[in-house]
Amino acid sequence: MENEKSMEELLREEELNQASVGDTVTGTVVQVGERVAYVDINQATEGQIYLNYFTNNKDALSFDGLLKVGDTIKARITKIEDGKNGLVILLSCLDLLKDEQLAKLAEDLKVGNVDVKARIIKKNEKSYELRYNGLKLYMSVKDVKDELKPGSDIDVRIIEVNLDKHFAFCSHYLIVREQREKEHAEYLAKVEAKRKDEEEKRKAFLESINVGDILTGTVSKLLGYGIVVKFDNAQGLVKMRDLDHKFIKDPAEVVKVGDEVKVKVLKKENGKLELSRKACIESPYQIFRHDHNVGDKLNVKVINKLPFGLLCEVAKDVSGLLHKSEFSWNPNDNLMASTLIGDTIEVAILKLDDENEKVNLSKRVLIDNPWSRVEAHEGDVVEAKILEVSSKGLKVEAFGVDGFIPSRAVLLEGKSQKIEDYFAAGDTITAIVSEINTKRWILNLDQKAYKRLEERKQFEEYMDKQEAEVENPTLGDLLSKELKK
């Protein structure tokens, strides 16, 4: 009958009733060739497993070192077919290896991160497909910035394992982000360590210096109110007023960033340094002082008028005071009124105050003082030369200085009451000193007093003569008296 099966078919079904494609079997290796091994799996025939279905190692050229007779292996039946010499059962360990690897990845994920190097196979619409030891991995295209080329290797982190579908999800960005975070943490740690080290050095440096010390540093910043000077382990502030001896509006007028400067420690408080550059450079006065001494003559420019004298520029950025008491020997000399700002005058250095850096000037020491030679006193008789005649009196010269005879002290011996009718410039007149003050340059004379003095002298001489005649009678006087008897 057609529906009746042959004996051969029945035997084959019986042989195969315990084995089918997809079954997982465990067997013992009974023969190992170079690229194929035979395994007893308790079936009618041995199972065959080829090298490339036993391991994922593409570099393996034989079973040598991988498998030997007597080993027990677990494999999956991938194919059952009739061969030339009978039934052929083909085995593969790859799927089981994948399942084991996936299961191990799943277990490892429970413990911590699992990072592997996988190869790009292809790019899909929303994901990359990768391979790792034969395992299929998927990664989102958004996980990387630049497009990846198939065949390139990339480090990824397993984030999810799907045992049912035999693949896993992975991410490259997580590794990159962790690396960045690690590098950032290391950077912060280095920064903090450096900060602590610098802080310790800064404290040690500050402890080693004292107010008054001279330090050398570098200008690191220019500020609106000064400059910052940096040292090896600290920095300090130089305020604008301590930058230079002259007045400046901008620190850039005297320094620039990077300049090496010497500074003096003015103050150390709460870990901050207040410094002075000015204290370490010569002042304009000190430079001036090198080449000048008391008594030196100078041509100076008047730069200001003060209630008590003239302020003069004696050198660049150096001023000196010409006090009004040093204008002239003549107290009536009004130098303040006759001098304009900007005028140049000749003076001498009267005093140099090095402690306060002040210069006192004098003009009068350069002028001859004739009054210093006058030794007259009130009541002395003097011959004076008339210099000028006016209704107020006579301006005269006596003892080498100027004097004056007021009109009330001038003798007018005639009908006219005009002084000009009796005296002229160049005439000589004799008078008495009525007032003299050599410090104030005052010399007043009195002609009438001299006249009175002469008259008194003549009267006294006459009286003296009369008295002498009475006390010493002549021979005629005696005879006259005798005759009268």
List the alpha helices (DSSP H) in 209-255: none
Q: What is the mean pLDDT of residues 99-104?
A: 77
Contact 244, 277 (CB under 8 A): yes
What domain range includes position 85? Answer: 12-92
86 or 297, higher pLDDT: 297
Tokens of 197: 């080290």
Q: What is the secondary structure of 136-197 as a DSSP string?
A: EEEEEGGG-SSPPPTT-EEEEEEEEEETTTTEEEEESHHHHHHHHHHHHHHHHHHHHHHHHH
Instruction: Tell whether 267 and 302 lie within a shared domain.
Output: no
Over its C-alpha atoms, the chain yields an Rg (Å, rounded) of 64
CATH number of the domain that 221 lies in? 2.40.50.140
Instruction: Write out the H or E segment, with its range, that includes residue 94.
Output: helix 94-111
Per residue in 371-428, pLDDT (tens digit) is 888 889 999 999 999 999 999 999 999 988 899 999 999 988 888 888 988 999 999 9
The answer to whether residue 178 is domain-embedded is no
338 Cβ partners below 8 Å, 6+ apart?
Answer: none
Residue whose pair of structure tokens reads 């290796």 in the numeric block? 29
Give percent of the chain above pLDDT 90. Answer: 50
DSSP letter (8 states) at residue 66: T
The answer to whether residue 308 is domain-embedded is yes
Per residue in 199-238, pLDDT (tens digit) is 898 888 888 889 999 999 999 999 999 999 999 888 999 9
The answer to whether residue 327 is domain-embedded is yes
The answer to whether residue 292 is domain-embedded is yes
Give percent of the chain above pLDDT 70. Answer: 93
Give the pLDDT confidence score for residue 472 in this predicted structure.
61
The answer to whether residue 276 is domain-embedded is yes
**Final residue of a domain: which of 92, 110, 141?**
92
Instruction: Tell whether 341 and 292 lie within a shared domain.
Output: yes
Q: What is the mean pLDDT of residues 306-312?
A: 93
Instruction: Tell whether 162 and 229 lie within a shared domain.
Output: no
Contact 434, 409 (CB under 8 A): yes
Q: What is the mean pLDDT of residues 144-164?
A: 87
Secondary structure E strands in 186-296: 214-223, 226-230, 235-239, 260-269, 272-276
- Check pLDDT > 60 for residue 127: yes
Give the pLDDT confidence score for residue 476 in this predicted structure.
58
Instruction: Name residue 39's beta-bridge partners.
Output: 29, 47
Euclidean distance between CA atoms 442 and 374, whole angstroms: 11
Q: What is the mean pLDDT of residues 154-171?
A: 85
Amino acid 454 reads E
Global pTM value:
0.47
Per residue in 204-213, pLDDT (tens digit) is 888 888 999 9
Q: Where does the pLDDT of residue 464 fall: very low under 50, low under 70, confident under 90, or very high at 90 and above?
A: confident
Give the pLDDT confidence score for residue 473 in this predicted structure.
61
Q: Are strands 86-92 and 47-50 parallel, antiparallel or unpaired?
A: parallel
The total number of structural domains in the chain stands at 5
Per residue in 319-361, pLDDT (tens digit) is 999 999 899 888 777 888 889 999 999 999 999 999 999 999 9
Instruction: Write out the H or E segment, with its range, that includes residue 95.
Output: helix 94-111
Tokens of 249: 């509006």
Q: What is the 3-state secondary structure (H, E, C) of 425-471?
A: CCCEEEEEEEEEECCCCEEEEEHHHHHHHHHHHHHHHHHHHHHHHHH
